[in-house]
């Protein structure tokens, strides 16, 4: 969605409600296309005493593969973002704090996508304590048990065990 910000910039007190869907079903991320459903964007853009701000919530569900055990899982995400919108910058230092809206047209989809990419975790785990795959036989250690790692006793501990006998 492209938001026309002309009135927002011109009229103090002006408010625009945002409620739209962003289709990212073709977007590639984490070596797949995880956005099975559109991202729901809800928010408000308003001019308060001449300062135009945008607050939005992006909620969506991702179909992911666990980085440790490679199992498929889905997770719901919900992020709040806010920005100050300006028509131009006064100094280059401000670049990171403000969103410059060129020609009064703000591409909300682009902004939401870059916000989401910055907010997403770097690692995707099916659960906090995922045990992953056995490096020896490859079973999923969350659902199966194997003896591989038990057999590999640290040789130093083995020595210690002998001494204690």
The footprint of Zn ion (CB under 5 A) covers 66, 68-69, 126, 130, 134, 136-137, 146, 148
The SS3 assignment for 117 reads helix
Cα torsion through 13, 50, 94, 97, rounded to 10: -20
Smallest distance, Å, CB 30 to Zn ion?
14
Q: Which is nearer to Zn ion, 59 or 145 (CB)?
A: 145
Q: Which is nearer to Zn ion, 80 or 147 (CB)?
A: 147
Smallest distance, Å, CB 130 to Zn ion?
3
Which letter does DSSP use for residue 14 in this model?
A: -
Please enumerate in sequence order all residues whose Cβ is within 8 A of that of 58, keeping only pairs 6 or more positions apart, or say none.
Answer: 22, 39, 40, 41, 77, 78, 79, 81, 112, 115, 116
Q: Which is nearer to Zn ion, 55 or 75 (CB)?
A: 75
Smallest distance, Å, CB 71 to Zn ion?
5
Q: Which is nearer to Zn ion, 9 or 73 (CB)?
A: 73
Smallest distance, Å, CB 56 to Zn ion?
31
Cα torsion through 29, 31, 34, 38, rounded to 10: 40
Which letter does DSSP use for residue 39 in this model?
A: E
């Amino acid at each position: 969605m492209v938001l026309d910000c002309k009135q927002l910039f011109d009229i103090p007190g002006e408010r625009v409600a945002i409620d739209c869907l962003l289709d990212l079903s073709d977007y590639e991320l984490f070596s797949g296309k995880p956005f099975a459903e559109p991202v729901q964007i809800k928010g408000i853009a308003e001019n308060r005493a001449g300062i135009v701000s945008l607050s939005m919530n992006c909620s969506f569900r991702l179909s992911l593969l666990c980085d440790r055990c490679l199992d498929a899982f889905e997770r719901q995400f919900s992020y709040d973002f806010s920005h100050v919108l300006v028509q131009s910058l006064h100094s280059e230092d401000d670049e990171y704090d403000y969103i410059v809206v060129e020609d009064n047209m703000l591409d909300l989809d682009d902004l939401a996508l870059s916000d989401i990419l910055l907010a997403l975790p770097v690692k995707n785990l099916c659960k906090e304590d995922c045990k992953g795959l056995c490096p020896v036989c490859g079973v999923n250690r969350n659902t199966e048990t194997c003896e591989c790692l038990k057999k590999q006793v640290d040789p130093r501990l083995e020595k210690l065990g002998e001494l204690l006998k």
